[in-house]
Structure 1
Amino acid sequence: MGLTVTDRFLKYVTFDTKSSEETGTTPSTPGQRVFAEALVNELEALGLEDISIDEHSYVMATLPANTDSEETPVIGFIAHLDTSPDMSGKDVNPRIVSYQGGDIILNKEDNVVLSPAMFPELNDYVGQELIVTDGKTLLGADDKAGVAAIIGAMQYLKEHPEIKHGKIRIGFTPDEEIGQGADHFDVAKFGCQWGYTIDGGQIGELEFENFNAAGAKIIFKGLNVHPGYAKDKMVNASLLALDFASWLPSAQRPENTTGYEGFFHLTNMTGSVEEATLSYIVRDHDRNLFEQKKQLLQLLVDRMNGMHPESTRLEIRDQYYNMREVVEPQKHIIDIAFEAMTAVGVKPLVKPIRGGTDGARLSFMGLPCPNIFAGGLNFHGRYEFLPVKSLEKSMETIIKITELTAQKS
């Protein structure tokens, strides 16, 4: 017998794979390459085939079919190597606690406490084992839980040939957390009819709807003259930016939205009298509302230029789209995942992602790819935790999907 899925996860979080938006390389950090190479060695030891790692550290491998049916679709499972730049993933020091309710002291010295008062979802896991941080780093369940669940499932299928399945492909990508996980993904080489990213949160999550997304930058040009003699001459670019921000509807900010509601999120601002910039991310599940949001930005830019000619310009770039457009017409992909969860005792929670995944971009690259839970909660920070049972159920769901896919072909 090999490692348990929990053992694998605890091993994987020792790798520092925090990605970076600053380097301009793929992978963006060397630790991701180190982790990728370690996974290649593991996959070789497990006896998988067609194992590859390319110059960008994309890892792919095959578990061959053990059924004679040539009709069984080739399916894939994908997770990402990197952890969020939001917090350190170096020297992660996890521990397993048997949770009986109340507060969990993560770090007594720094008074870091994981409390149901702040995170009421803890109450759903009373009586379970939880993997928690030491309060100094994130945990890395996003997405090393997904990596562990996939490799754990492949190990289990190797050890249980009585479970019939078709050809299975697995893939691990760099730099998902900085929105670049699909940049160099070779869909043709992966060779699947559909796939699943194992990158969701709480147990049961099944997601095939995500935001349409764009990034926008509004640049304001001012006119700087001596403030003592500025009357009817000065144009303060920073004040133009403040006015512009106030024109956007406050009800459509992230802190005021939920569910299917989209938003304008001001992510960065810089400014002087001479020049100022506002950086936004624009999000909406509905494609028409998404386009309207982008149009509103242009209308407001035109309004500002009407008041201060040639002062303001908009740079906007679409980032990804709602995978529902691609996945929903092939509903059997969702139905199989739904049935698999139910079969292993998990209640499916079908809900929209208030964000994006590699699967969203891959879906528009020709690989329909909804997202399935890996089990972690409170991603990207020191309060992240992973219920052991949820991780195990993620692995069981993968196994059951492969079995059902073969049975239905």
Structure 2
Amino acid sequence: MNELVQRFLRYVTFDTQSNPADLGCPSTQGQMVFAEFLKQELIDMGLSNVSLDSNGYLMARLPSNVDYDVPAIGFIAHMDTAPDASGKDVKPQIIDDYQGGDIALGKGDEILSPIQYPELHKLHGHNLITTDGTTLLGADNKAGIAEILSAISELIANPDISHGDICVGFTPDEEIGRGANLFDVEKFGAKWAYTIDGGPVGELEFENFNATSADVICHGVNVHPGTAKGKMVNSMNIAAQFQMMMPADETPETTEGYEGFYHLKSAEMSVARSELGYIIRDFDREAQEQRKQFMVDKVAELNEKLEKGRVELILTDSYFNMKEQVEPFPHVIELAKQAMIACDVEPQIKPIRGGTDGARLSFMGLPCPNIFTGGYNFHGIHEFISIEGMEQAVKVIVTLAEKTALNYR
């Protein structure tokens, strides 16, 4: 446990928050600094084929220790943290043997409460790592990195555990949707892989949202308000009208499970021009197309009411549901389930209400489901992780490597 925790605590000191406004790769220099650190760690561990390219993609390989052919499998995690909350000067705190009740975060008034986060009721007796209430923690996804490398360390230290080639990949800019953009699947060399990027213990995910961004641009006319009658067209009023046309019961705060949504995530407003930034999500590809058409129809309806060209819509598909790419390879899921069961972890197969690098990679020819890290409340100051959950993730990775080798003996 100590090696795993110390590794994780080292990693969260690196400021690797990605930046959607920067079109470079990686989008922030801190990610490359962290990648260089990890590169040296991989070399020191004795892994082969260690490479870090100019875009921040880090890869390595643990060679097979068996004398028969086993398909190479991969484990992938991302180095960046989300732009939603600061990832600089992270000050984690360890709560030993949690016995319930509120957890004070740092020296301020912020608390982690089981009233707000009832999953804490299931973690009595666990050792938890939390934030100090001023930043996110970075378990998403530095816990995944720590768990992968701790598992690799265990495989190296125990050569009696059979395994084939194990490919390791760490990516930049996953949190801003670019983590797989420049990933070299052929160079990586795995037949299939797993992202270690999930939440609570047991999560095993191979379904994710189909994702589309929708930019609604409202064009107005600005003149002096004192002489505006019959001349001014306030684009903010048009934007407000459009938002009121969207289904109020199909938003993130009103949906769960397999339910899709429209989400207004940003707005830039002025009299002359206003832009609304939406994301559209649905698990079913046909239903996603219907959602996109709904927005097209509402724009047309508003333009007919106002004046042609006042409202403009730009739709951009981001990623698709990996299910259709993973299901043809059922053994990839079955091996993960077997590994969890062997580690006394009950597989919790559920859809990802979001996306991962694995979704894009699956469409690039690398089937890539997602496995838990043991973390909770990603992307915010209430993020925390269970040390016991992290340990179970390490065991599952090791067991998955072993079961894959034994399956092909």
TM-score, structure 2 normalization: 0.96
The correspondence of residues 326-365 of structure 1 with structure 2, limited to 5 A, is: 326-365=325-364
- The one-letter code matched in structure 1 to 2:260 is G
Q: 1 CA distance for matches of 2:359 and 2:268?
A: 31
Deviations 1:30-70 (A, max 9, x none): 11111111111111111110100000111100000111112
The correspondence of residues 181-200 of structure 1 with structure 2, limited to 5 A, is: 181-200=179-198
Q: 2 CA distance for matches of 1:93 and 1:227?
A: 50
**Sequence identity (%):** 54
Q: Does 1:253 align with 2:254?
A: no
State the match for 1:240 in structure 2. 238
Shift of 1:403: 0.8
Shift of 1:222: 2.1
Q: Does 1:75 align with 2:106?
A: no
State the match for 1:389 in structure 2. 388
Q: Tell me which moved more, 229-238 or 183-192.
A: 229-238
Shift of 1:23: 2.4
The correspondence of residues 284-363 of structure 1 with structure 2, limited to 5 A, is: 284-307=282-305, 308-363=307-362
Secondary structure (helix, strand or coil) at the match of 2:190 reads coil
Q: Does 1:105 align with 2:104?
A: yes
Secondary structure (helix, strand or coil) at the match of 1:248 reads coil
State the match for 1:122 in structure 2. 120
Q: 2 CA distance for matches of 1:224 and 1:386?
A: 51
- The one-letter code matched in structure 1 to 2:99 is Q
Q: Tell me which moved more, 140-149 or 301-310.
A: 301-310
- The one-letter code matched in structure 1 to 2:140 is D
State the match for 1:133 in structure 2. 131
Deviations 1:197-243 (A, max 9, x none): 00001111101000000111111122345556655554332211111
Shift of 1:95: 2.1
Pick one of 259, 265, 268 that aligns with 1:267. 265
Q: Tell me which moved more, 308-317 or 186-195.
A: 308-317
Equivalenced residues, count: 406
Q: Tell me which moved more, 303-312 or 287-296.
A: 303-312
Shift of 1:22: 2.2
Q: 1 CA distance for matches of 2:119 and 2:230?
A: 57
Secondary structure (helix, strand or coil) at the match of 1:329 reads coil
Secondary structure (helix, strand or coil) at the match of 1:250 reads coil
State the match for 2:140 in structure 1. 142
State the match for 1:380 in structure 2. 379
- The one-letter code matched in structure 1 to 2:381 is R
Deviations 1:295-336 (A, max 9, x none): 111111111221222211111100000000100111111111
Q: Tell me which moved more, 79-88 or 207-216.
A: 79-88
Secondary structure (helix, strand or coil) at the match of 1:107 reads coil
Shift of 1:143: 0.4
Q: 2 CA distance for matches of 1:15 and 1:271?
A: 35
Structure 1 portions without partners, runs of 5+: none
- The one-letter code matched in structure 2 to 1:386 is I
Q: 2 CA distance for matches of 1:37 and 1:222?
A: 49
Secondary structure (helix, strand or coil) at the match of 2:244 reads helix
Q: Tell me which moved more, 98-107 or 271-280.
A: 271-280
State the match for 1:88 in structure 2. 86
RMSD: 1.4
Shift of 1:16: 1.3
State the match for 1:215 in structure 2. 213
- The one-letter code matched in structure 2 to 1:151 is L
State the match for 2:173 in structure 1. 175
Q: Tell me which moved more, 48-57 or 127-136.
A: 127-136
Q: Does 1:37 align with 2:36?
A: yes
The correspondence of residues 46-61 of structure 1 with structure 2, limited to 5 A, is: 46-61=45-60
Q: 1 CA distance for matches of 2:217 and 2:85?
A: 29
Q: Does 1:408 align with 2:401?
A: no
Deviations 1:96-152 (A, max 9, x none): 2121111111123x2111111111111111011111122222111000100001000
Secondary structure (helix, strand or coil) at the match of 2:379 reads coil
Structure 2 portions without partners, runs of 5+: none
State the match for 2:279 in structure 1. 281
Secondary structure (helix, strand or coil) at the match of 1:155 reads helix
Q: 1 CA distance for matches of 2:375 and 2:131?
A: 12
Q: 2 CA distance for matches of 1:310 and 1:84?
A: 36
Shift of 1:360: 0.4
CA distance 1:91–1:271, change in 2 (3 Å): closer
- The one-letter code matched in structure 2 to 1:269 is A
TM-score, structure 1 normalization: 0.96
Secondary structure (helix, strand or coil) at the match of 1:200 reads coil
Q: Tell me which moved more, 216-225 or 57-66.
A: 216-225
Q: 2 CA distance for matches of 1:11 and 1:309?
A: 57
Secondary structure (helix, strand or coil) at the match of 1:210 reads coil
- The one-letter code matched in structure 2 to 1:381 is G
Shift of 1:270: 2.2
